Amino acid sequence: MAEDAILGYLATHAEIPDSEQFATQHSLHHNEVVNVIKSLHGFRYIDAHDIKRETWVLTDEGKKYAADGSPEVQLFLALPPQGSISKDELQKKLDPSVFKIGCSQAGKNKWVEMGKQVSRKVQHVEDKVKDLLIRVQSGQAIGKDDINSLKARKLIVAQTWKGYSVRKGPNYAPKRKKVATDLTRENLQRGDWKELEFKEYNFNAKGPPAESGHLHPLLKVKQQLKNIFLQLGFEEMPTNNFVESSFWNFDALFQPQQHPARDSHDTFFLEAPSTTRELPEDYVELVKHVHESGGYGSRGYMYDWKREEANKNLLRTHTTAVSTRMLYALAKQPFSPKRYFSIDRVFRNESVDRTHLAEFHQIEGLVCDRGLTLGDLIGVLNDFFSRLGMSKLRFKPAYNPYTEPSMEIFSYHEGLKKWVEIGNSGMFRPEMLLPMGFPEDVRVIAWGLSLERPTMILYGIDNIRDLFGHKVDLSLIKRNPICRLGIN
């Protein structure tokens, strides 16, 4: 339709000066005309030039007044022709914004007497504002002063109208030639390929985007951290069990059974299977004993240790449960020093907010050797974190049931210009290590941190729900850059 009209018109006219006028004259939609112009221009059937016009359109407020009348006139009409009405009563009759604006404009126009009582000062008023708005709405021109006053009241805004002027192009023809896009078997059999005009290849066209899998930011950061641990000579621990018994998650770590973390408000316990099938019985006895009455220079917690509590299955609350199993296995063998790490998922019964989810990932490292000290821990932490690009560290004394001493780790964040907490660490207690059977001089230094925290900092994400879980925008995963830790 539009294409025939444009090409046909140009057969007898030199120019279409204005695409919109053309559209109106031919009862076409301007949008359609514009699309056809763009396409014909692309094939050089026509030459199109942009034209722009400033026009005025009504704002939402302007549209309301064009329909209902200006607030000043609405207010005027709400007043009794004779006598007066109290301001409160008048206010009740009108919309709050109409009342407010109406008072000020009608006052300015000297239409009304304002006081505790309000009354008319003139007999009749004309709604000039409404008339002007209706004229703008229907595309009629209005004076400069009127434009300025409507603009000042935010009843109209400027809008740039875009259209085209059009002339014949170098490939002009009154009808577009159908070009073939494919050479078919029929073309060859009939021999009509000799007459056919073929569409040219467009070497600038983009091909369909290549679809492929994408790594989630957490996986990228995890891989980098793995590399760092491997460079430092750490072995990865097997973390492929989300379900753990309370025994390995808490008891073996010398975490007392009445500790608040063992409450169902903090930990997810399993309904089925609700208890573990087996635990190493002789070791369980030693753990029970150290909780109840200590040993190895400790007084223990002096309470009645319950096997049923230790049997309860849960979703592991920290990867330290994995470290504990590994240390127990290590203690069974003739002693040799070890460095272990793990990075995997843990679960806590937390209320979800911008920085907390009920499941997240922990990074954990430990070093086990004879005669290690707190100095070794600080040294290893400096070594590890400087490879993540965090070389300014500070430590603050902390408490964990299974480590003594314990330290929270802080790093100076250059972007935020403050110290942020990045992890937790400590030396495992003798009450944990000695029942496992380690020689007395063996010490284990360990630390843990979340994978989400550094990932959010690295990728500039401030709401954890944008990073992980069902609300994540897939394009975040498709487009996020590679991760190079420690390199700015």
Instruction: Indicate the residue among 433 and 446 with the shorter CB distance to ligand PHE.
Output: 446
Indicate whether 249 belongs to the interface with ligand PHE (CB under 6 A): no
Residue from 64, 222, 318, 443 binding ligand PHE (CB under 6 A): 318
Closest approach, Cβ 303 to ligand PHE, in A, equals: 22
The number of residues that bind ligand PHE (CB under 6 A) is 11
Q: For residues 84-123, which are near ligand PHE according to CB under 6 A? A: none
Residue from 224, 267, 311, 320 binding ligand PHE (CB under 6 A): 320
Instruction: Indicate the residue among 22 and 340 with the shorter CB distance to ligand PHE.
Output: 340
Indicate whether 448 belongs to the interface with ligand PHE (CB under 6 A): yes
Q: For residues 375-434, which are near ligand PHE according to CB under 6 A? A: 400, 403, 424-426
Distance (Å, whole) CA 135 – CA 141: 7
Closest approach, Cβ 451 to ligand PHE, in A, equals: 13
Instruction: Indicate the residue among 22 and 328 with the shorter CB distance to ligand PHE.
Output: 328
Indicate whether 252 belongs to the interface with ligand PHE (CB under 6 A): no
Candidates 49-57, 328-336, 444-452, 474-482; binding stretch for ligand PHE (CB under 6 A): 444-452
Closest approach, Cβ 454 to ligand PHE, in A, equals: 15
Residue from 301, 340, 347, 447 binding ligand PHE (CB under 6 A): 447
Closest approach, Cβ 441 to ligand PHE, in A, equals: 20
Is there a cis peptide before residue 334, judged by omega within 30 degrees of 0?
no
Closest approach, Cβ 410 to ligand PHE, in A, equals: 14
Indicate if the alpha-carbon torsion angle 124, 129, 130, 132 is positive or negative: positive
Closest approach, Cβ 432 to ligand PHE, in A, equals: 11
The residues of the shown chain that bind ligand PHE, judged by CB under 6 A, are 318, 320, 364, 400, 403, 424-426, 446-448
